[in-house]
Amino acid sequence: MIKIIHPVAGAVALVTVTIFWLSTALSELFASEATVVVVKTAIPWGFLLLVPALAAVGGSGFTLSKGRRGGLVEAKAKRMLMIAANGILVLIPAALFLAHKAGNGELDAAFYTVQAVELLAGAANITLLGFNMRDGLRMKGRFRRQA
């Protein structure tokens, strides 16, 4: 069962973070201020899906590693720590701040400064989650490095 939970939860986490990022970027670039407000106030509700998915990925990955260290297992574990730290220290507080500001109609310099930081941190997490997915596929023999 864990062999199913791990990749599914990982895919859910990657897709969720990507949806957050794309909806933010696209609404900021092409949509009205009202759409930006809707997007920014909706994102914290997505934490109800994202946080359990990330917890499931981390827990199932720890269980699947069976105490192995080194190589791809260790690389994935280190990335998960960076993903979690980035989420807890930057992304969640930024999303809550932006939702509050957007809900009050305060799309000011502080909003856009935090928005830029959130987009950079989100891109970093998308990249790290993608690397973990790639390495997971390599570990299962489904994706081989090109010579």
* Residue 119 within a domain: yes
Number of domains in the chain: 1
Residues whose CB falls within 8 Å of the CB of residue 21, separated by 6 or more in sequence, listed in order? 119, 122, 123, 126
Looking up residue 125, the CATH number of its domain turns out to be: 1.20.120
Q: What is the largest CA-CA distance in the chain?
A: 54
Q: What is the value of pTM for the model shown?
A: 0.89
Q: What is the pLDDT along the chain (147 residues), one digit of tens a residue?
A: 888 899 999 999 999 999 999 999 999 999 999 999 999 999 999 999 999 999 999 889 888 888 777 788 899 989 999 999 999 999 999 999 999 999 999 999 999 999 999 999 999 999 999 999 998 888 887 666 555
- Whole-angstrom CA distances from 41 to 91, 102, 110 are 14, 7, 16
Find the domain containing 131 and state its range. 2-139
